[in-house]
Amino acid sequence: MSAVVWVPCDAAAVSVGADAVAEALTAAGATVRRNGSRGMLWLEPLVEVETERGRVGYANVAPAEVAGLLAGDLDDGERCVGVVDDYPWLARQHRVSFARVGVIEPTDLAAYRERGGLAGLERALTLSGEDVVREVTDSGLRGRGGAGFPAGIKWETVRTAEADVKFVCCNADEGDSGTFADRMLIEGDPFTLIEGMTIAAVATGASEGFVYLRSEYPHAIRTLRRAIDIAYAHGVLGESVLGSGRRFDLDVRVGAGAYICGEETSMLESLQGRRGEVRAKPPIPALHGLFGRPTVVNNVLTLSAVPMVLADGGAAYAALGTGRSRGTQVFQLAGNVARGGVVETDFGITLGELVEGFGGGTASGRPVKAVQVGGPLGAYLPPARFGLPMDYEAFAEAGAMVGHGGIVVFDDSMDAGAMARFAMEFCAKESCGKCTPCRIGSTRGVEVIDRIRGGVQREANLVLLEDLCATMTKGSLCAMGGLTPMPVRSALEHFPEDFGVDAGTADAVAGEMPESATSTDGGARP
């Protein structure tokens, strides 16, 4: 009997040689199955061998080592991590949305069902739309894309809207640096997303759905398309969802390299085949969305939390978390971090537990200087703030945001002034150009930061930068221009020396935090 081994097909694993390892294992006579990644990315390629004890993992396997691995040569070394399910880094997590990722073959619908899949959709089909929405509202689920808007309220708006056709759109344009959970979920367990979107459609009366997936994720595109085909073939999608007589059609649309299309109205424009320029709100997409019709727009992780909410009830989900941040969040440890990957856990865990406890500090072994939480538009925070609990409101109060849960770690070689400049430069490069504060302000921001760092009329330029940041925050149409000041201001606040500024001067100029930094939605308008 040949050994059954699992080799991840996740893009991150493939990028460090997983495909070659799988080929070598097949050639060596093993039965190779492909799973998603467990999210312990520093161990990839992580090969798992089925044993009586469970699936035993071997880290960083190279193709030349597979014969030895199968012969048991690696069993006693540190490369063998033991039974993967019991590995402390993984066992300490609370995986809800990611429960099946890395465990099953991504497009194996039978395995998906065996592990609780489709239970949520089956239950939703027995309820009225109103009751399904109530479960989601009761769960306290908030948008995981960054804005944290309550999903149930959005769904109720769409449900009660009158229209000839309604849409469910999944925002999978995961362009924020340091975030990869959407990608890993789609590559590792795409049926969860399909089920979540179908539940959203059932709840709101939508009949068509689109996943807007970025072109930078070719592996995810392939996996999701295959999963959708399988879902159609098994009656999960199509003219009669699970035999209910309700129609739901789902399609994947591929982005084209524009960061701004992660903004929901820009994404809708792009789906309509236009330039990805943001729309002014109101009208809100829930009432006037894709092709002007009522549209649910949610992030991958929001929709992927829905099957569990329906299967176990909203109250079970609401029992997790802290304050007004209910349920779990999928955090992503990235950048210069020793143990990078996916940590799904209840809200309320501290930043320090994530960075030091799970992440193990920097990959370079040097001290952590700062972490950026929530993507390129999130704040830079020094280790002094590691006591902050991961919670939408606590972060907003600290002038930061949880965002999509990405945490990028920097060691002490980082130049915070250069990163602030980069934030403005990136905004200038990726601005859709529709509103002036973002389009022009970002370019002026680069220039002003250069003058500050160059020592040209430093105090006057600090005042000007603060004024510019306030204008961008309050005057931009969307969160791109509105939040670009967040990394800039936080870098200046915590690391004024990197701008050639002494701490007292920076404090005197910084003044009050802008409205967007203290509001609960992180500045993005629902």
Residues 6+ apart with CB under 8 A from 229: none
Distance CA 74, CA 51 (A): 15
Tell whether residue 441 is a contact of other proteins (CB under 8 A).
no
Q: Which is nearer to other proteins, 218 or 235 (CB)?
A: 218
- Asked whether the bond before 106 is cis by omega within 30 degrees of 0, the reply is no
Extended beta strands in 196-244, E state: 208-213
Residue 346 three-state SS: strand
Tell whether residue 248 is a contact of other proteins (CB under 8 A).
no
Contact 451, 500 (CB under 8 A): no
Q: Which is nearer to other proteins, 53 or 274 (CB)?
A: 274
Q: Which of residues 9-28 bind other proteins (CB under 8 A)?
A: 11-12, 14-16
Give me the amino acid identity at 409: V
Tell whether residue 295 is a contact of other proteins (CB under 8 A).
no
Give the DSSP letter string of 145-170. Answer: TTT--BHHHHHHHHHH---S--EEEE
Q: Which is nearer to other proteins, 347 or 426 (CB)?
A: 426
Distance CA 233, CA 8 (A): 25
Distance CA 151, CA 167 (A): 15
Distance CA 146, CA 521 (A): 8
Q: Which of residues 187-246 bind other proteins (CB under 8 A)?
A: 208, 215-219
Sheet strand arrangement including 328-335: 341-346, 328-335, 406-411, 368-373, 380-381
The window from 51-59, 385-393, 424-432, 469-477 that contacts other proteins (CB under 8 A) reads: 424-432
Q: Which of residues 42-71 bind other proteins (CB under 8 A)?
A: 42, 44
Among 148, 152, 188, 276, binds other proteins (CB under 8 A): 276
Q: Minimum CB separation from other proteins for residue 166, in Å? A: 13
> What is the pattern of x (binds other proteins, CB under 8 A) and - over residues 363-402?
x--------x---x--------------------------
Among 344, 411, 466, 498, binds other proteins (CB under 8 A): 411
Tell whether residue 122 is a contact of other proteins (CB under 8 A).
no
Among 409, 469, 472, 477, binds other proteins (CB under 8 A): 409
Q: Which is nearer to other proteins, 317 or 380 (CB)?
A: 380
Q: Minimum CB separation from other proteins for residue 26, in Å? A: 20
Q: Minimum CB separation from other proteins for residue 41, in Å? A: 4
Distance CA 490, CA 403 (A): 15
Tell whether residue 508 is a contact of other proteins (CB under 8 A).
no
Tell whether residue 263 is a contact of other proteins (CB under 8 A).
no
Q: Which is nearer to other proteins, 58 or 422 (CB)?
A: 422
Q: Which is nearer to other proteins, 141 or 206 (CB)?
A: 206
Tell whether residue 430 is a contact of other proteins (CB under 8 A).
yes
Q: Minimum CB separation from other proteins for residue 7, in Å? A: 16
Q: Which is nearer to other proteins, 70 or 334 (CB)?
A: 334
Comparing C-alpha atoms, which of 241, 189, 164 is closest to residue 10? 189
The window from 118-126, 222-230, 255-263, 468-476 that contacts other proteins (CB under 8 A) reads: 255-263
How large is the C-alpha radius of gyration of the chain? 23
Q: Minimum CB separation from other proteins for residue 18, in Å? A: 11
Tell whether residue 31 is a contact of other proteins (CB under 8 A).
no
Tell whether residue 426 is a contact of other proteins (CB under 8 A).
yes
Distance CA 248, CA 236 (A): 9
In whole angstroms, how far apart are CA 39 and each of 1, 26, 35, 211, 277?
Answer: 30, 24, 11, 23, 34
Backbone angles phi, psi at 471, to 5 degrees: -65, -45
Q: How many residues bind other proteins (CB under 8 A)?
A: 63
Q: Which of residues 468-497 bind other proteins (CB under 8 A)?
A: none
Among 256, 456, 460, 503, binds other proteins (CB under 8 A): 256
Comparing C-alpha atoms, which of 105, 262, 70, 265 is closest to residue 171? 262
Q: Minimum CB separation from other proteins for residue 180, in Å? A: 4
Contact 43, 60 (CB under 8 A): yes
Q: Which is nearer to other proteins, 239 or 251 (CB)?
A: 251
Extended beta strands in 347-491, E state: 368-373, 380-381, 406-411
Bridge-based pairing of strands 208-213 and 328-335 is: unpaired
Tell whether residue 302 is a contact of other proteins (CB under 8 A).
no
Q: Which is nearer to other proteins, 257 or 387 (CB)?
A: 257
Distance CA 526, CA 512 (A): 24
Contact 121, 310 (CB under 8 A): yes
Q: Which of residues 315-344 bind other proteins (CB under 8 A)?
A: 332-337, 340-341
Residues that bind other proteins (CB under 8 A): 11-12, 14-16, 41-42, 44, 174-180, 183, 208, 215-219, 251, 253-259, 270-276, 291, 332-337, 340-341, 363, 372, 376, 406, 408-411, 414, 419, 422, 426, 429-431, 433, 439
